[in-house]
Amino acid sequence: MQESALSGKHREANFLYDFAKHGGAIGDILVGPKVLPPQAIITSGIIRVVTAPVGTNATIALKLVGSEDILAATAITSFTLDALLDVVPVGTAATSVLTTAYTQLTVTIATTALTAGKFHVALRYFLSVTS
């Protein structure tokens, strides 16, 4: 019997963006220190807004490997207190994200800087076996 190339145990990675810690400047902000390992396949996740972001017409996007692979640029009006937001990976091969190196979550802020905000990002993944 040949071993499957995918380890079946799902794992969870949790990230917390917090304006008080990370700031809110326009551009890319690494949210760490949590790091996903190489060969992680992210299959799903959810975002919970803890404190609504503040910034006139600002947008927020999330990425691990490529632009907007976790969350497409989204107006902060969607980030209301206690809102639950979907991520791009929805349990299909077409939407899953594969890391090839150690990877941190990146928050991309555009249009205007944020002056407040906090949200939790929970991602489900499993590891691919390469040998």
Confidence of residue 9 (pLDDT cuts 50, 70, 90): confident
Phi/psi at 78 (5° precision) = -80, -20
Ranges of each domain in the chain: 22-127
pLDDT for residue 1 is more than 80: no
CA atoms of 44 and 78, how far apart (whole Å): 19
In tens, the pLDDT along 27-74 reads: 999 998 789 999 999 999 999 999 999 999 999 999 999 999 999 999
Q: Which amino acid is at 103?
A: T
What does pLDDT average to over the chain? 92
Q: What angle do CA 97, 84, 121 make, to 5 degrees?
A: 45
Confidence of residue 3 (pLDDT cuts 50, 70, 90): very low
